Chains A and B, each alone.
Chain A
């Protein structure tokens, strides 16, 4: 797993509420299908609290029959009415390979909902979302949430190749202004991305949300500081428990910062301001 957590960027907990009830349940798999070439979309039946969790919250998953440490995934989409949730991931090892091999009707061990989720600041009327690769999986539900609230929503999707732009067409259809950039054409170069993002940051009332690469996180943190735009970043980290016990996921290991964990103090953090880590 790539850990996008650039050391020169200051992160601080959002102070949003967490600590609510978490359930550990067996859920039925609806299906697994390829999406954006290299990713897998896993849909499963979810209980009401999970199917209505906040954008940016995550679940810990493993196949019920595989006694593996569960892996964390942001909820990609959820449907409270139909009692469903889904995650999107890239197969990177044994845990994700086993999840990709699930079939409809198989059982899934699910712990959730976990973490704080994104926080839309009142008075910020424009959303700028910046995702790289499978990091878009952490932003997709937020994008749909912003659109449902009627907020003008710009989404910059960066990937190695255009076929890896996750949910680009879908979000465009839903009304987002989507720009895909990629490494093949060179459009994902930092300078080009900055030229696109800067006007968006400069507009009054903007708020930025990002996930996916150290480079982009550094960039949006810098632009946020320059234009006084609040920036929230979803971080990912290997973890074993998801609820703050195992300490596999400190934001920054260290004497004074050990207490800030990606699982319970995040996974969404604000950049800038008072540096805690």
Chain B
């Protein structure tokens, strides 16, 4: 039986699968035993209440989903008082995703969460494409990222994970900035900034013009980003983007991920998400991998004679 455990440095997980932010809630436990996962990340929490974006908020696109939900949120008081006690009972480590519109918002939320027991880590959402301020805008600037991560790390006793956006020219530079700021790990990637238009209505198919693309459509982008982040830093990486199958999970590990997030698939195949740990173990046996460390980052060089950049 292969060893599925992974070590993120700050936490040891029973398997590499992490329920990604925005897709898992306490209520997911009604249909899936969350203790089957290595860890789960909450929806992004803000200090104050936030309305979401106009409807429609989620539309299907080829092999993906485009969303502009806008992270509606009931605020820190509700999260800490009402929601967190439920999270403590899900049976796996829980990472709290933290958001803000300004640097001060992130710091305040991190400080508020100090009064709460049992949080495995904070994941800074500096990569949401659907926020008017903060989010991706902040996460695309290496200097802002380094400064924010450093200031959060100074104010929290929790390990800090920086969730990166793929919507940058040089992801490695942002990854290095997060590392310099003191991040304990990286999560790559958040959704890809995207649009979908209805020509008959001559309008966006979402209630907003732009949204974030997720699902299998972005998986190759995410794998490339994980590889770039792994080359740029020594931090453990949670590889996320379009994971559906055990092959996908190990693909991210091969690219350099320590753990692997699963997101959009939970919207259309929760049952399959629950079966993933066992299927990863089977696939590891099949390809002769006893521990995930043996696979991580071990990409073989391209075969001799292969052309460097072939058109797909």
Q: A238-B58, A245-B23 are in contact. Are A20 and B30 (CB under 8 A)?
A: yes
Cα distance, A80 to B68, chains bound together (Å): 39
Residue pair B268, A70 in contact (C-beta under 8 Å): yes
Interface string of A185-221 (1 = CB under 8 A from B): 0000000000000000000000000000000000000
Q: Is B53 on the interface with A (CB-CB < 8 A)?
A: yes
Interface SS of chain A: loop
Chain B hits for A26, CB < 8 A: 271
Number of chain A residues close to chain B: CB under 8 A: 36
In whole Å, how far is B191's beta carbon from the nearest beta carbon of chain A? 13
Are B57 and A67 within 8 A (Cβ)? no
Closest to A112 in B: B31
Complex interface: chain A residues within 8 A of B51 (CB): 253-255, 258
Name the A residues within 8 Å of B69 (CB-CB). 246-248
The digit string for B41-66, where 1 denotes a CB below 8 A from any CB of A, is 00100000111111111111001010
Question: Cβ of A245 and Cβ of B25 under 8 Å apart?
Answer: yes
A120 contacts B by Cβ under 8 Å: no
Closest beta carbon of chain A to B59's beta carbon, Å: 8
Select from chain B the residue with minimum beta-carbon distance to A93: B60
- Return chain B residues, CB-CB under 8 Å to A244: 25, 27
Q: Smallest Cβ distance from A143 to chain B, in angstroms?
A: 29
Task: Name B271's contact: one of A25, A237, A241, A246 (CB within 8 Å).
Answer: A25
Identify whether the interface residues of B are mostly helix, strand, loop, or mixed.
loop
Measured CB to CB, the nearest residue on chain A to B72 is A258
The answer to whether A24 touches B27, judged by C-beta atoms less than 8 angstroms apart, is no
A152 proximity list for chain B (CB < 8 A): none
Residue-wise interface mask of B (143-168) relative to A, using a CB-CB cutoff of 8 A (1 in contact, 0 not): 00000000000000000000000000
Q: Chain B residues with Cβ under 8 A from A248's Cβ? A: 55-58, 67, 69
Q: Given contacts A24-B270, A111-B270, A243-B27, are A255 and B49 in contact (CB under 8 A)?
A: yes
Are A22 and B30 CB-contacts (below 8 A) given A246-B58, A246-B69, A248-B57? yes
Does A264 count as interface, using CB distance less than 8 angstroms? yes
B60 and A67: CB pair below 8 A?
no
**CB-CB nearest in chain A for B274:** A24
Closest CB in chain B relative to A50 CB, distance in Å? 13
Given A19-B30, A238-B56, A248-B57, are A68 and B49 neighbors across the interface (CB < 8 Å)? no
B115 at the binding interface (Cβ < 8 Å): no
Contacts of B32 in A (CB 8 A): 24
Which among A19, A62, A240 has the greatest number of chain B C-beta atoms within 10 A? A240
Q: Does B286 contact A (CB under 8 A)?
A: no
Is A23 an interface residue when CB atoms closer than 8 A count as contact?
yes
Q: Do the beta carbons of B244 and A67 come within 8 Å of each other?
A: yes
A175 interface hit (Cβ, 8 Å): no
CB of A241 within 8 A of CB of B30, answer no
Given the complex, which residues of A lie within 8 Å of B269, measured CB to CB? 24, 67, 109
* 7 extra interface residue pairs, beta carbon distance < 8 Å, beyond A24-B269, A24-B271, A239-B58: A24-B270, A68-B268, A109-B271, A238-B56, A238-B58, A243-B31, A246-B267
| Residue positions of A touching B, CB distance < 8 A | 3, 19-26, 62, 67-70, 94-95, 109, 111, 237-241, 243-248, 250, 253-255, 258-259, 264
